[in-house]
Each structure stands twice: as structure tokens, then as C-alpha cells.
Amino acid sequence: MQPAQPFPASPQDPYRARSPQGAFGPIASTTRVVYTVVVAIMMLGFVTAVGGWTAALIAADRSGTNEPDGTLFGVGLAGLFTVVFLLYVQIGAGLVWIYNAWNWLPWDQRYTRHWRNWLTPSQVALMMLIPYFHYYWMFVANCGLCDALDRLRVSYPTSRPAPKSLAIAACACQLIVPFPVAAILWLIFMKRCEEMTREMSAAMAPRMAQSF
């Protein structure tokens, strides 16, 4: 695999033009909170669907009609529709989070050894939407994020390393058990990354302020 092209150091680099006082905040937790709420409602919808259909079948067996109760069956169906609808919201929240995570990285850290070119936050997020390719890309994007965070730890030490093993586990579960196991692992992964950026941001701001 060919190495990435040299990064263009331009005086008009928007990263360099930002104010040091407001540019190095950690990854915002808002998206993760939304993701958490969505996953919680999806789990409730899943339990409602299974519970409603099970109750409908039990009621039909006890009544001897062999026909499931329409009301209970409808409750289960509503739970299923809720899960399917919120699945798209979950995907959207995940894309926003990975965009924000890569957008937080300094420009010179937006690369991975599994991709030969420099990456932009929008590219990282949008390539997740390519069918079948996204199975590979989610490993590249999330493991690449962890590699970048570990590189930054050299200058801005944190209490814990990047959760790369957790990223691999979440990606693997996304292929096998996407819900609820993978969803829970993604939440833990997001929180760990946000904690790292919070520690780094506290050290970044004073150093960057001295350079301006």
C-alpha cells in the first residue's frame, strides 16, 4: 500500500486560523446522549414487540381459537415499527459522532495506515453509507481514530490508551449481533474516546495559546 501524500501545510489552513481559546474543546457528548436515548427506546420497543406477540399467542392458545389477540398483536407490531424507525436514527447519530470525532483531530493526524490518502471528517462519515464496503470501512474509521488518539498521547498523555480493542469488538459484533450487543459496545467506545479528548483538550489549550 502506498503511503499518504505529504500533508499540505498552507498558511490558509483553517485549523491554524482558529482561536486557541475555543478550538480545542473535547468531543461533545450530545450525540452520544441522543444515541443512548435512541438505543434505550429501541430496546423497549423490542421487548414490547416480543412481549406483545408472545402474549397474543398465549391468549390464543388459552381461548382455543388459535387466532392471536388482535390488540396484543398490534402492540407487538407497533414495537417492531418503532425499532425499525429508530434504527435509521441510530445510524444517523453514529455518523454524526464519527464525523465529530475525526473533526476533533488535528489536520496532521487525519490519516490511517489502512488508507493511502488523507481523510476528511465528511469522507469518513459518508463512506459508511456505501453498501457492503461499510463493513470494512467501520474498522478503518474507528481503529484509525484510536491510532490517531494514541499518537496524540505522545504529546498529550492520558490516563488510559485509546480503546482500539473495544472498537474491534464493536465492529465484529456489528456484523453478528448488531442489536443490542454492538449498540452497547459503541456507547462504551464513544464514552472512552470522549474522555480521552477531554483529558487532551485540557493540555492542548495552554500549549496552543503559547504558540499564538
DSSP state string for 152-212:
HTTTS--SS---HHHHHHHHHHHHH-IIIIIHHHHHHHHHHHHHHHHHHHHHHHHHHHHH-
Reported as a pLDDT band with limits 50, 70 and 90, residue 18 is very low
Q: Who wins on pLDDT, 188 or 209?
A: 188
Specify whether the CB–CB gap between 123 and 11 falls below 8 A. Answer: no
Average confidence (pLDDT) over 21-40 = 86
Question: What's the pLDDT score for residue 138?
Answer: 98
**Whether residue 212 has pLDDT greater than 60:** no
Rounded Cα distance, 110 and 23, in Å = 16
Helix (H, G, I), strand (E, B) or coil at 112: strand
Q: What percent of the chain has pLDDT over 70?
A: 85
For range 103-128, the mean pLDDT = 95
Rounded mean pLDDT, 19-48: 86
Does residue 100 register a pLDDT over 80?
A: yes
Q: What is the pTM of this model?
A: 0.83
**Alpha carbon distance 124, 104 (integer Å):** 13
| pLDDT at residue number 16 | 39
Residue 22: per-residue pLDDT: 38
CA distances from 172 to 169, 175, 186 (A): 5, 5, 11
**Which of the four pLDDT bands, split at 50, 70 and 90, describes residue 7?**
very low
**pLDDT value of position 68:** 74
- The pLDDT, as a whole number, for residue 28 is 93
Q: What pLDDT does residue 86 have?
A: 97
Higher pLDDT, residue 209 or 72: 72
Residue 69 is predicted with a pLDDT of 75
Residue 4: its pLDDT value, please?
A: 52
Q: Which residue has the higher pLDDT, 20 or 79?
A: 79
Mean pLDDT, residues 35-55 taken together? 96
